[in-house]
A = this chain, B = another copy of it.
Amino acid sequence: MALAPSRQWSLVARPQGEPQPSDVRLDEVDVPDPGPGEVRVRNTWLSVDPYMRGRMDDRPSYVPPFRLEEPMTGGAVGVVELVGDGVEGVAEGDCVLHDRGWRERAVLRADAVRVVDADLAPAQAYLGVLGTTGLTAWVGVLDVAQMREGDVVLVSGAAGAVGSVAGQVARLKGASAVVGTAGGEEKVRWLLDDAGFTRAGDHRSASPADLLRDLLPDGADVYFDNVGGPTLEAALPRMRDHGRVALCGAISGYNATSAPPGPRTLGLAIGKRLRLEGFIVTDHLDRTEEFTREMAGWIARGDVVYRETATEGVESAFDAFRGVLSGANTGKMLVRLDPDL
């Protein structure tokens, strides 16, 4: 039996507030050959995502918490190095998507990987615009918020992996205006110059109420909310009657040590007949096929642009994760691993 070296991140303490280096540990381990029905994958890209912050807490949620002293999991793509006995449909050299991120190498059941078409888009796109990130944006706009042609659509966290795709889906589906908020002038410029947003503003430049009044002089029909907190509070008064809010994330509070204030404006939902609806992408995997077909077409035609912010090497994964919580990324936050490791 041959062993292959790997480094992998384990959670060793539950973070209080912002995750600290003392909450995690990078271990060097030896990964065995795959057994029957298994494959060994050398990861090339790891995904770090805001939702992982919730998994670091020990409380019931829609995904189980990370267990202490075990390697963390998350989205990853890699190349199949070795194939065990009896495996069909996966071959050495295939590019695969799976959930054993936070590490360099993984052995897992062959039916737990999905072979992806690296000719259609770069492999890491399957962690972002062509993966659950893109699907989140697409179902949030179309199925949850039920955007209609002509709607004015607001997206917060608009330069993030989900937000930037949500805004572009809205534009391509006929929104009359797509308005984004993001953290910093550079992100705002990218939204306006490259991602096709109608208007965009820096949430650090003004109070949420002032910013959204400027950006939405005539209100909004749809709000795709990635941030929660004061931006959600300021968005509700801007909603038009019968507006719809897709509650996708609340990153502004993920590191909070006590419950942040709720939106004092929620009472407006009655008179305005607003609908606010929380969703998680794994309830909508039946839409994957239609999403992939539509999104791949948009990408091929250049209708959807996407950006990545990548750090280098498995040792950078924890910093990348802390960065995605603080908004260091434009577009999808990734960790690139040396393919010749």
Which A residues contact B (CB, under 8 angstroms)? 54, 61-62, 228, 232-233, 241, 247-250, 253, 259-280, 283
- Minimum CB–CB distance from A146 to chain B (whole Å) comes to 12
Residues A262 and B266 in contact, CB atoms below 8 Å apart: yes
Among residues of B, the one whose C-beta sits closest to the C-beta of A243 is: B278
Residues B283 and A273 in contact, CB atoms below 8 Å apart: yes
Residues A249 and B277 in contact, CB atoms below 8 Å apart: no
Task: List 12 additional A-B contacts (Cβ < 8 Å) besides A266-B276, A273-B283, A276-B276.
Answer: A247-B266, A247-B269, A250-B267, A250-B270, A259-B265, A261-B262, A262-B262, A262-B266, A263-B266, A270-B279, A272-B278, A275-B276
Residues B278 and A277 in contact, CB atoms below 8 Å apart: no
Residues B269 and A278 in contact, CB atoms below 8 Å apart: yes
Copies of this chain, complex-wide, total 2
**A278/B270 contact (C-beta < 8 A), A261-B264, A262-B262 known:** yes
Contacts of A277 in B (CB 8 A): 269, 273-276
Residues B61 and A271 in contact, CB atoms below 8 Å apart: yes
Within the assembled complex, what's the spacing in Å between the Cα atoms of A289 and B109?
Answer: 59
Within the assembled complex, what's the spacing in Å between the Cα atoms of A237 and B54?
Answer: 16
Residues A266 and B266 in contact, CB atoms below 8 Å apart: yes
**A267/B253 contact (C-beta < 8 A), A233-B262, A261-B261, A262-B261 known:** yes
Within the assembled complex, what's the spacing in Å between the Cα atoms of A54 and B271?
Answer: 10
- Minimum CB–CB distance from A39 to chain B (whole Å) comes to 32
Contacts of A54 in B (CB 8 A): 271
Contacts of A260 in B (CB 8 A): 264
Contacts of A261 in B (CB 8 A): 261-262, 264
Residues B278 and A273 in contact, CB atoms below 8 Å apart: yes
Within the assembled complex, what's the spacing in Å between the Cα atoms of A175 and B265?
Answer: 31
Among residues of B, the one whose C-beta sits closest to the C-beta of A250 is: B267
Within the assembled complex, what's the spacing in Å between the Cα atoms of A249 and B267?
Answer: 8
Contacts of A259 in B (CB 8 A): 264-265
- Minimum CB–CB distance from A54 to chain B (whole Å) comes to 8
- Minimum CB–CB distance from A128 to chain B (whole Å) comes to 20
- Minimum CB–CB distance from A58 to chain B (whole Å) comes to 15
**A270/B280 contact (C-beta < 8 A), A261-B261, A275-B275 known:** yes
Contacts of A272 in B (CB 8 A): 62, 278
Within the assembled complex, what's the spacing in Å between the Cα atoms of A31 and B77?
Answer: 81
Contacts of A269 in B (CB 8 A): 247, 276-278
- Minimum CB–CB distance from A303 to chain B (whole Å) comes to 29
- Minimum CB–CB distance from A279 to chain B (whole Å) comes to 6
Contacts of A283 in B (CB 8 A): 273
Contacts of A280 in B (CB 8 A): 270-271, 273
Contacts of A62 in B (CB 8 A): 241, 271-273
Residues A274 and B278 in contact, CB atoms below 8 Å apart: yes
13 examples of A-B residue contacts, CB within 8 angstroms: A62-B271, A232-B266, A248-B270, A261-B262, A261-B264, A262-B263, A262-B266, A266-B276, A269-B277, A270-B279, A273-B278, A273-B279, A275-B277
